[in-house]
Amino acid sequence: MIARRGVVVTGASGMLGRAVARALAAGGTPVRTLQRSPSGLVGSGAGDVEDVRLDLAAGSPSALVQALEGAEAVVHLAAKVSVSGPWLEYRRTNVDGTERLLEAARAAGVRRFVQVSSPSVAHAGDSLVGAPAGPADPAGARGRYARSKALAERAALAADSPELAVVAVRPHLVWGPGDAQLVARVVERSRSGRLPLLGGGTALVDSTYVDDAADALVAACARADRDDVHGRALVVSSGEPRTVAELLASLCRAHGAPAPTRSVPAGAARALGALVEAAWAVRPGLGGGDEPPMTRFLAEQLSTAHWFDQRETRRLLGWAPRVGLDEGFARLAAAARG
Amino acid sequence: MRGAPLPPRSPAPSAPDVDLSALPGVDPRWSRTLEAPASDGTRRTWHLLDGAGSLDGQEPVGTVLAVHGNPTWSYLWRDVVAAGVAGDADGRRWRVVAVDQLGMGLSDRRPKEGGDLWRLADRVADLGALVDALRAEQPDGWPPVTGPLVALGHDWGGVVVSGWAGEHPDQVAALALTNTAVHAPADAALPAALQVVSAPAAHELLTRRTDAFVRAAVSQVRPRPPADVRRAYGAPYRTTAQRRGVADFVTDIPWRAGSPSRPALERVAAGVSALGRGEDASPALLVWGTEDPVFGERYLRDLRERLPRADVHRVEGTGHLVPEDVDLGPLLLHWLSVRGVGDGAAAGPAPAAPVEGRPRALWAELEARSEDDSPAVVEMGGTAGAAPAVLSWRELGHRVAEVAVGLHERGVRPGDRVSLLVPPGADLTTALYACLRLGAVVVVADQGLGLRGLTRAVRGAGPRHLVAVEKGLVAAAALGWPGQRIGTGRLGALGARLCATTLPEVAAAGRRSALGGVDGGPAAGRPTLATLRLPEPDARADAAVLFTSGSTGPAKGAVYTAERLAGMRDAVAAAYDVDRGTALVAAFAPFALLGPALGAVSASPAMDVTAPATLTATALADAVAAVDATVVFASPAALANVVATGGVLDARARTALSGVTRLLSAGAPVPTALLRRVGELLPSASLHTPYGMTEVLPVTDVELAELAEAADEVEDGVLVGRPLAGVDVAVAPLDASGGATQQVSREPGVVGELLVRAPHLKARYDQLWVTEDASRLVETDGDRTVVWHRTGDVGHLDARGRLRVQGRTAHLVRTAAGVVTPVGVELAAQSVPPVEGVGVARAAATGVGPAGTQALVVVVETDPPTRRAAGAPAELVEAVRDAVRSVPGRPEVAAVLLVPSLPTDVRHDSKVDRALVGAWAGERLAGRPVPPPWTPGGRLRGLLPRGRR
């Protein structure tokens, strides 16, 4: 049985989930992780961590309630993260999974719930320049992932109540050592010469080093029931926007990969993305790999600004990044060297 | 006053049915009807927008009577009514009553009895009857209007309300007019736009049968008002019948000599002149849109002559419908407060501190040395070996005296503005001192403004006369610059045709005139400044309008009185030890002009003075040798070329230059490295660089040695030295969001907007009342009132009392971590050594994103120059970011962009337009890869996509 003040972290097998679980445990909080595969933290010296292996979307409701029994708070990271794949899969994991988890949390008497979301839930493709966290907009969100996360965030915030305080936190572009998502793909694409800059790569983007994002989620978990915090959606980033070109170059350099230099016009990339998406709908795998070489979403992400006003987030969470980009890149390089 | 809702109005007979509650910006509670007797013997129902309807019983400090023109209606004043209800910064509320004239808007639309139309005289008389009705107790419960009124009018409404004011001076608290005309000179042709609508064939079609005229009035506004506002303007004029009043108004335009309303217009004009006369003249405000095709500058000039004490605010780029373009309500309320109008108003305006004592006249040296045959002005020949042109003190004095008298003979009077479009040289010096002696006000706008800026400046200053070289005469004629045109000597055939007279003719007339004071006519000798019979002008009267460089918006005219110009002379004399007996070389135009006032011999080197970079080391050495100069004034661009051409100097030239003991580099900031290399050519000279601006120059001075010593100091900003004697410098500290406060601090290290007081500070900005008001900071220290000039520069005083400049208030970067001033960031970026062969030649720091969370961006001109704009390579970004972290406050650079060139002001090629750079960087960093909207010369190429500028 988990201790009374413990926290359940879903999706702890991913980079950010693992970092959250580790940070919580390091602070003396008993942690129970919840996902299909082992978190890799049990017995690793990370502290009081236990794994419960469960498929949020498929597990029985009672098993879910039982998994949350006695927990004070839930940090919900588990999600299908990709740029392709059928809508039903996104819906099942990201929307249905979240709704089931919220239901179980209520039933289990959980008091605080951190919905880990994404700035893309409020991004309709235009430039975000020092932007506040807009409301989640499933209709305007680009791509299936963003749409499903927008629905999930809405469901989570709708569940905010005196019994269960819910806050949505949207870490932006999280990267760090062991990242199978952003970093690995960027480096792999760069090595194979498939990482063009769009429009010269001068769009300014925010990003977040993984430990800083984890700290922010831990802070949100602690403060979720404060009057000025619950029911809110907060974007989290390092607050150090960089041009796409510089960010990609820094990620590549940390891995000894060449920085992208070739630039294609952003409009052409978007058109190409649309074409590839259409082609993949008929013949998945076209062009090699398990993901399309370009999508409209990716083209937009690489060619429009998206950086955020962090003042409110920092004030409400009482949090500020401890690592930051420069130190983050150094740690990335150290990890890459092994 | 009452707080209960007022009864609904009963509509005026035959007035259009307009639902006021549906019109944007109107509070339907303002709508009111009121009966008053009309000039045709009937009683008429007026419709008004009366702010009392929403004052909710709060007592206003006064009432504004606002009258619209044609083809608008009281809707024109909705924002002014609302501003009155909202009150000014001190909570003083005004009751604004905006009327619909008879036959217009929602007032009585029945035609005048007797078959004629409402004429100007009717309108003036009827407005008077309405005011009487407003002052009477009304059964409908609206509070009666009390006390004197502020008369506010636009277009023909300005004529009508001025007519009322002229006939009831005892009822007038103030007069506020915008784009109107109370008088038309007999010879004035109708403005083209009015000719079109009043031509018999077009008149009926444009004004009545169609709504073309009604729509044109509103659609001229840029940016175009929203559709619902445009519809609201047209709401009472939807049908042919409803537009009868519009057509009648045009028919009654009294500008033609035979017009029936002409005598009425002349009465109105005389009434306004009477209001403007004397010490107890009514406070008057003229707010003027400069792009009005009907009410052009000439009508503003006419009004200024009638209301010489009026506060004038010209709004560049604004057209006819000023209340739609300019936030007139708050402006009017603030002005009323400053001018002490309204119940319980504070004492009058803060006086500009007068200069103590009476300074020596600017021409005093010329007058004292009228028998002196030693050289005063030496102009080196344009070609090698050509003999220099030398003017002795005696000869210059004669010429100045002759031209002063001759100009007087040509009708130039004290206070008249004379635009000088003459490059520095003997002609300019002569014309300048002649005007000063005469008491005419010289308008000096240099070619650095570009033709467009120059046109704007010259037209706006409203000169009555213009002295120009050929090029200036042609431009004046072609671009319609105002003023009697006087050519200099040496004119081509075209120039000779374009001018009324020439300076030599003016001088000849001056020689013949008895005013020259030479009894016995020209044969008895030439007039001198000592013999002149022209009265000496008032030292406190305007003497000059000098234009700013226009690097931050349209060029502003700074008005100097004679005593303040004398103050500038004295400040330069004291700071640089220049006096009678000093010989100087002036390669920087303003100082060439000061020479005779300083009593110094001044030599101009052979160069194109409008292109400083044409000064060669040899030309400088020749000029120095010609007068044995010990002092040199030059601009950084000129010095850069002197250094570049210094290699060819022979021994004689080097010897001449080694006699220079003081060099002043003025006009723009000068790089220390350049000064050091200048020092190698001028080994005996102390090298100075002053800080100042068109509004006050010089403010501080610093020597190269001190600059070099300070190079290693970790302190933000550029060191510009200590305030000169008689100059007071302080800062208005910035608040957390970067706004300059109203406080005055002299604490070391406190960053704020720089404040200056000096005897040689400008008296005011020309016809920019709002700008002038905003540029003043009034400090009350016990019973002492001190007025400071806000420079728009940001900086601080260091522990040793020296000033450091950190940028412009308009260029602050407001990041989440605090306010970043640009100069320190730029200096740090420029200190970065070349990265892979790419060096930072010049940097501009700017911010993108919303204030308070802006990202700091450095835009870099590289050496060698990049061919196209792009993001900087990662290594250079990191180097710049690291360097900038050494600036106090450790600002974080988000991005570095490379550009082929940065946009700079035309005059000095040194002040970077950071706001423009920021606007472009914002586009680029948002992911829109637009090219920079400026050319390598720094000029604007086109508009940014989202309409900045």
Partners of residue A311 in chain B, C-beta under 8 Å: 816, 852-853
Among the partner residues B855, B874, B892, nearest to A204 by beta-carbon distance: B855
**Rounded-to-integer distance, Cα A253 and Cα A238, Å:** 19
**Rounded-to-integer distance, Cα B643 and Cα B665, Å:** 13
Partners of residue B870 in chain A, C-beta under 8 Å: 200, 202
| Count of CA atoms in the C-beta half-sphere (13 A) of B169 | 14
Determine the average pLDDT of the residues in B824-853.
Answer: 94
Task: Determine whether the interchain pair A241/B855 forms a contact, defined as Cβ–Cβ distance below 8 Å.
Answer: yes
The chain-wide mean pLDDT, for chain B, equals: 89
Interface of A with B in 48-87 (CB under 8 A): none
Residue B848 in contact with partner chain A when CB distance is under 8 A: yes
How far, rounded to the nearest angstrom, does the alpha carbon of residue B130 sit from its chain's CA centroid? 39
Task: Determine whether the interchain pair B926/A246 forms a contact, defined as Cβ–Cβ distance below 8 Å.
Answer: no
Partners of residue B816 in chain A, C-beta under 8 Å: 239, 309-311
Determine the average pLDDT of the residues in B726-748.
Answer: 94
Residue A200 in contact with partner chain B when CB distance is under 8 A: yes
Best probe of the A interface among B897, B928, B946, by most A CBs < 10 A, is: B928
| Closest residue in A to B921 (Cα–Cα) | A202
DSSP-based three-state secondary structure for A313: helix
| Shortest Cα–Cα distance, A252 to chain B (Å) | 12
Give whole-number Cα distances, B405 to A200, B157, B408, B518, in Å. Answer: 67, 43, 5, 12
The predicted pLDDT at position B944 comes to 35
Catalytic residues of A: 145
pLDDT band at B449 (very low <50, low <70, confident <90, very high): confident
The closest alpha carbon to A15, from A154, A180, A167, belongs to: A180
- B178-193: pLDDT as tens digits: 999 988 766 556 666 6
Domain boundaries in chain B? 20-338, 392-561, 705-755+769-807, 812-925
Report whether B496 contacts B504 (CB < 8 A): no
Pairing of strands A7-10, A31-35: parallel
Residues 6+ positions from A230 with CB-CB distance below 8 Å: A160, A165, A166, A167, A224
| Closest residue in B to A303 (Cα–Cα) | B927
Residue B535 in contact with partner chain A when CB distance is under 8 A: no
Best probe of the B interface among A123, A204, A298, A313, by most B CBs < 10 A, is: A204
Report whether A48 contacts A32 (CB < 8 A): no
| Shortest Cα–Cα distance, B894 to chain A (Å) | 5
pLDDT band at A283 (very low <50, low <70, confident <90, very high): low
CATH number for the domain that contains residue A113: 3.40.50.720
| Shortest Cα–Cα distance, B919 to chain A (Å) | 13
Instruction: Work out how many CB contacts closer than 8 A connect A with B.
Output: 81
Task: Determine whether the interchain pair B874/A245 forms a contact, defined as Cβ–Cβ distance below 8 Å.
Answer: yes
pLDDT band at B890 (very low <50, low <70, confident <90, very high): very high
Residues 6+ positions from A256 with CB-CB distance below 8 Å: A336
Determine the average pLDDT of the residues in B229-236.
Answer: 94
| Shortest Cα–Cα distance, B847 to chain A (Å) | 11
Task: Determine whether the interchain pair A259/B874 forms a contact, defined as Cβ–Cβ distance below 8 Å.
Answer: yes
Residues 6+ positions from B663 with CB-CB distance below 8 Å: B631, B632, B633, B634, B678, B682, B685, B686, B687, B688
- B109-142: pLDDT as tens digits: 999 999 889 999 999 999 999 999 999 998 888 9
The predicted pLDDT at position B923 comes to 94
The predicted pLDDT at position B1 comes to 40
A233-236, strands of its sheet edge to edge: A49-53, A31-35, A7-10, A73-76, A112-116, A165-171, A233-236
Is residue B671 predicted with pLDDT exceeding 90? Answer: no
The predicted pLDDT at position A155 comes to 97
| Shortest Cα–Cα distance, B388 to chain A (Å) | 57
Best probe of the A interface among B853, B856, B893, by most A CBs < 10 A, is: B853
Residue B413 in contact with partner chain A when CB distance is under 8 A: no
Better-scored residue on pLDDT, B936 or B272:
B272
**Beta bridge partner(s), residue A174:** A208
Among the partner residues A199, A245, A309, nearest to B853 by beta-carbon distance: A309
Interface of A with B in 108-127 (CB under 8 A): 127
For the ranges A135-144, A239-248, B509-518, the one whose mean pLDDT is highest: A239-248
The CATH number that domain B392-561 falls under is: 3.40.50.12780
Partners of residue B874 in chain A, C-beta under 8 Å: 245-246, 249-250, 253, 259
Task: Determine whether the interchain pair A310/B853 forms a contact, defined as Cβ–Cβ distance below 8 Å.
Answer: yes
Is residue B711 predicted with pLDDT exceeding 80? Answer: no
The predicted pLDDT at position B589 comes to 75
The predicted pLDDT at position A320 comes to 97
Residue A97 in contact with partner chain B when CB distance is under 8 A: no
For the ranges A274-283, B486-495, B623-632, the one whose mean pLDDT is highest: B623-632
For the ranges A36-50, A188-202, B258-272, B541-555, the one whose mean pLDDT is highest: B258-272
Domain assignment present for A53: yes
- B259-312: pLDDT as tens digits: 889 999 999 999 999 999 988 899 999 999 998 888 888 899 899 999 999 999
Task: Determine whether the interchain pair B929/A202 forms a contact, defined as Cβ–Cβ distance below 8 Å.
Answer: yes
pLDDT band at B947 (very low <50, low <70, confident <90, very high): very low
Please tell me the total number of residues recorded for chain B in this structure: 949
ipTM above 0.90, yes or no: yes
Partners of residue A240 in chain B, C-beta under 8 Å: 892, 894
Q: Provide the domain count of chain A.
A: 1
| Shortest Cα–Cα distance, B574 to chain A (Å) | 51
The predicted pLDDT at position B812 comes to 96
For the ranges B83-92, B384-393, B417-426, the one whose mean pLDDT is highest: B83-92
Q: Is the peptide bond before B223 cis (omega within 30 degrees of 0)?
A: yes
The predicted pLDDT at position B152 comes to 98
Better-scored residue on pLDDT, A308 or B607:
A308
Report the percent of chain A where pLDDT is more than 70: 90
Partners of residue B877 in chain A, C-beta under 8 Å: 246
Is residue B357 predicted with pLDDT exceeding 80? Answer: no
pLDDT band at B203 (very low <50, low <70, confident <90, very high): confident
pLDDT band at B527 (very low <50, low <70, confident <90, very high): very high
Global model pTM greater than 0.80: yes
Is residue A290 predicted with pLDDT exceeding 60? Answer: no
Among the partner residues B850, B853, B895, nearest to A243 by beta-carbon distance: B895
**Rounded-to-integer distance, Cα B167 and Cα B128, Å:** 9
Partners of residue A202 in chain B, C-beta under 8 Å: 870-871, 895, 897, 924-925, 927, 929
Task: Determine whether the interchain pair B895/A204 forms a contact, defined as Cβ–Cβ distance below 8 Å.
Answer: yes
Among the partner residues A127, A200, A307, nearest to B855 by beta-carbon distance: A307
**∠B897-B900-B906 over CA atoms, to 5°?**
110
Domain assignment present for A279: no
- The long-range contacts involving A279-288, CB below 8 angstroms and separated by at least 24 positions, are A280/A84, A284/A84
- A16-60: pLDDT as tens digits: 999 999 999 999 999 999 988 888 888 777 788 899 998 888 888
The predicted pLDDT at position A274 comes to 67
| Shortest Cα–Cα distance, A305 to chain B (Å) | 5
The torsion angles phi and psi of B566, rounded to 5 degrees, stand at: -60, -35
Task: Determine whether the interchain pair B927/A249 forms a contact, defined as Cβ–Cβ distance below 8 Å.
Answer: no
Report whether A254 contacts A336 (CB < 8 A): yes
- Looking at domain B812-925, does it have CATH number 3.30.300.30? yes
Report whether B827 contacts B805 (CB < 8 A): no
The predicted pLDDT at position B905 comes to 67
Q: Please, what's the b/e burial string for B527-542 (b: 16 or more CB within 10 A of its CB; e: otherwise)?
A: bbbebbebeebebeeb
Partners of residue A265 in chain B, C-beta under 8 Å: 929
The predicted pLDDT at position A3 comes to 46
Is residue A10 predicted with pLDDT exceeding 70? Answer: yes
Spelled out in words, what is the top-level CATH class assigned to the domain B705-755+769-807? Answer: mainly beta
Domain assignment present for A148: yes
Instruction: Report the range of poorest mean pLDDT among A213-217, B484-488, B530-534, B909-913.
Output: B909-913
Report whether B392 contacts B627 (CB < 8 A): no
Is residue B584 predicted with pLDDT exceeding 70? Answer: yes
User: In the CATH scheme, what architecture does the domain B20-338 have?
Assistant: 3-Layer(aba) Sandwich (3.40)
Interface of B with A in 879-918 (CB under 8 A): 892, 894-895, 897
| Shortest Cα–Cα distance, B874 to chain A (Å) | 6
Partners of residue A130 in chain B, C-beta under 8 Å: 848-850, 853-855
Q: What is the 3-state secondary structure (H, E, C) of B633-676?
A: EECHHHHHHHHHCHHHCCHHHHHHHHCCCEEEECCCCCCHHHHH
**Rounded-to-integer distance, Cα A91 and Cα A80, Å:** 9
Report the percent of chain B where pLDDT is more than 70: 93
Residue A304 in contact with partner chain B when CB distance is under 8 A: yes
The predicted pLDDT at position B549 comes to 72
| Shortest Cα–Cα distance, B807 to chain A (Å) | 24
Containing structural domain, residue A113 = 7-172+208-238+308-322
Task: Determine whether the interchain pair B926/A305 forms a contact, defined as Cβ–Cβ distance below 8 Å.
Answer: yes
pLDDT band at B941 (very low <50, low <70, confident <90, very high): very low
Determine the average pLDDT of the residues in B679-701.
Answer: 93
The predicted pLDDT at position B598 comes to 94
Domain assignment present for A147: yes
Determine the average pLDDT of the residues in A285-289.
Answer: 55
Residue A130 in contact with partner chain B when CB distance is under 8 A: yes
Better-scored residue on pLDDT, B836 or A325:
A325
> Strand runs (DSSP E) across B469-537, as ranges?
484-487, 501-502
Task: Determine whether the interchain pair B925/A250 forms a contact, defined as Cβ–Cβ distance below 8 Å.
Answer: no
Partners of residue B945 in chain A, C-beta under 8 Å: none
Is residue B698 predicted with pLDDT exceeding 80? Answer: yes
Determine the average pLDDT of the residues in B611-638.
Answer: 91
| Closest residue in B to A251 (Cα–Cα) | B874
Instruction: Report the range of poorest mean pLDDT among A15-29, B190-204, B224-238, B639-653.
Output: B190-204
pLDDT band at B455 (very low <50, low <70, confident <90, very high): confident
pLDDT band at A305 (very low <50, low <70, confident <90, very high): very high
The closest alpha carbon to A17, from A57, A46, A59, belongs to: A46
Determine the average pLDDT of the residues in B740-752.
Answer: 94
Partners of residue A259 in chain B, C-beta under 8 Å: 874
Fold agreement (B392-561, B705-755+769-807):
no
